[in-house]
Amino acid sequence: MTDHIIDPSVVEAENAKLSTDLRNDYDSLGERLDRRGISIDAIKNKVAAFNIAVPSWGVGTGGTRFARFPGKGEPRDIFDKIEDCAVISQLTQATNTVSLHIPWDRADPNRLKQAASRFGLGFDAINSNTFADEKGKLQSYKYGSLSAADAATRQQAIEHNLECIDIGKTIGSKALTVWIGDGSNFPGQVNFARQFEHYLDSMKTVYSALPDDWRIFTEHKMYEPAFYSTVVQDWGTNYLIAKELGDKAYCLVDLGHHAPNVNIEMIVSRLAQFGKLGGFHFNDSKYGDDDLDAGSIDPFRLFLVFNELVDVESRDADFRPAHMLDQSHNVTDPIESLMLSASDVQRSYAQALLVNRNELSAAQDANDVLTAAQHLRVAYRTDVEPILAMSRFEKGGAIDLLATYRASAYRAQVAQIRPEVAVGSSGIV
Ligand code: LRH
Ligand code: MN
């Protein structure tokens, strides 16, 4: 029996105000899609099966290197974070997995599993962290971790990743995500080839410890915290790594880790075409790795990414990229942002499912440029909110996410029991 963190009667009461209008909106959209030869229920069923993992580190208020402004009812530990994730899952019905980060979420793995399964939550990819030093560890990652010149430092970073695999095995994760900040700040500071060789050697040791049914995701990022060179800097390097490591190795695409205006949807197509697209960290950005809410700055780009994913899915039924959010909520209630972001990622998937792929291919092959472009725009311009809301409603979630969450007064309730967090800290968590 799954516990509900929000009193179901609050959700029912809010839904009761909206369900008739929703039914009407759904039926009228259904008629319009019918005229396009599309079954709205088929789209809704696919949307209902779509899941996106919530980052444990995203439910606390985030910050920058300059400052962090904690909000009310900040989660005190991973168990508070799991409860906040349960709220997001209950109302969206689209986020029944959590992605942990070690050591930030280190705790008794069996307690973690229990705390999550109480709310019907599971664990997605587990993230290692060798981009910050951990108290009690001998070696510092100041000059790198898995790619460090110093062998003892590399060994410590390897052992940390092996520990993450062990924790993951107990809690039911099936993947390890490895993002490292290793790089350099000055020309000449490192030998690129030797540094990359160290990294590959270290990763081969980590790879050899993966259980048979696991995957390892390597995440590329253009810069930060290193500002001259980064070991895993771009998708090309990431593809090389996945090929070097083996069949269980895949590339993870964090949307914010590319220079502005980079054609990310084409990177997605390339990695998928060569069988090395493992998953995503969805967020949005305007300049750097801004970790803004997915779909909040450039929703058309998010749609174009899903247009590529649905294209691959239409040719490969086994294609199962891991979908995760990776955001930092500096000025909003993280629960509200994560709910809307999960829904906006679902929205891009639903819109991409509306593209008439046969007619699109015919127009592409005929160089009928505008007809081809129109097929994407018509899908993108379709308001699929009735499909998203009906999927939530039928699964016991909220028709109006924000209104229902605010009606629950969850934030005010937890602010009663969770102590105020002192101001003055900085950093993303
Ligand atoms: C690096 C990153 C990575 C996480 C961290 C919290 O920028 O995207 O995925 O480990 O954020
Ligand atoms: Mn990321």
The minimum-distance atom of ligand 1 relative to the CA of 429 is 6
Average pLDDT, the chain: 97
Per-residue model confidence (pLDDT) at position 425: 75
Which residue segments constitute the domains of the chain, with CATH numbers given? 51-354 (3.20.20.150)
Minimum CA distance residue for ligand 1 atom 11: 326
**428 has a pLDDT exceeding 80:** no
With a cut of 70, say whether residue 417 has pLDDT above it. Answer: yes
* Contact call for residues 351 and 382 (beta carbons, < 8 A): yes
SS3 (DSSP) at 5: coil
**Cβ atoms < 10 Å from Cβ of 211:** 10
The Cα–Cα gap between 228 and 103 comes to: 27
Nearest CA to ligand 1 atom 7: 289
- Relative to the alpha carbon of 328, which ligand is closest? 1
The rounded Å distance from CA 281 to ligand 2 centre is 5
Looking at this protein, which amino acid is placed at residue 147?
Answer: S
Q: What is the pLDDT of residues 275-329, one digit of tens each?
A: 999 999 999 999 999 999 999 999 999 999 999 999 999 999 889 999 999 999 9
Beta bridge partners of 270: none
C-alpha neighbours within 13 Å on the C-beta side of residue 256: 22
pTM of the full structure = 0.97
pLDDT for res 208:
98
Closest ligand to C-alpha of residue 132 is 1
3-class SS of residue 361? helix
Q: What is the pLDDT of residue 1?
A: 63
Which residue from 209, 273, 272 is spatially nearest to 245, judged by alpha carbons? Answer: 209
Distances 51 to 122, 345, 346 between C-alpha atoms, Å: 11, 10, 8
Q: Which atom of ligand 1 is nearest to the CA of 224?
A: 7
By the 10 Å C-beta count (0-12 exposed, 13-18 middle, 19+ buried), 129 is classed as: buried
Q: Kindly identify the ligand whose nearest atom is closest to the C-alpha of 221.
A: 1
Distance of CA 405 to the CA centre of its chain: 21
Distance CA 418, CA 429 (A): 17
Please list every protein residue whose CB sits less than 6 Å from any atom of ligand 1.
57, 127, 179, 219, 221, 254, 281, 289, 326
217 Cα–ligand 1 center, Å: 12
Nearest atom of ligand 1 to the alpha carbon of 254:
8
Q: Of ligand 1's atoms, which has the minimum distance to the CA of residue 131?
A: 10
Residue nearest to atom 10 of ligand 1 (CA): 179
Tens-digit pLDDT profile for residues 14-50 = 999 999 999 999 999 999 999 999 999 999 999 999 9
How many whole angstroms separate alpha carbon 323 and alpha carbon 407?
Answer: 29
Q: How confident is the model at residue 421 (pLDDT cuts 50, 70, 90)?
A: confident
403 pLDDT above the threshold of 80:
yes
Q: According to the model, what pLDDT value does residue 134 have?
A: 95
Which among 161, 223, 258, 281 is the best mutation to test ligand 1's pocket, defined by most ligand atoms within 8 Å of the CB?
281
- pLDDT at 427 > cutoff 80: no
pLDDT of residue 84: 98
pLDDT in tens, 335-352: 999 999 999 999 999 999
Task: Please tell me the residue having the least CA distance from ligand 1 atom 4.
Answer: 179
How sure is the predictor about 202, in pLDDT bands with cuts at 50, 70 and 90? very high
For residue 396, give both structure tokens.
């016991």
How would DSSP label each residue in 65-126?
SS-B---TT---SHHHHHHHHHHHHHHHSS--EEE-BTTTT-S-HHHHHHHHHTTT-EE-PE
Nearest Cα residue to 227 out of 184, 187, 196:
184
Interval 70-94: pLDDT, tens: 999 999 999 999 999 999 999 999 9
pLDDT digits (tens, 9 = 90+) for 316-333: 988 999 999 999 999 999
Instruction: Calculate how far, in angstroms, residue 409's C-alpha sits from the geometric centre of ligand 2.
Output: 30
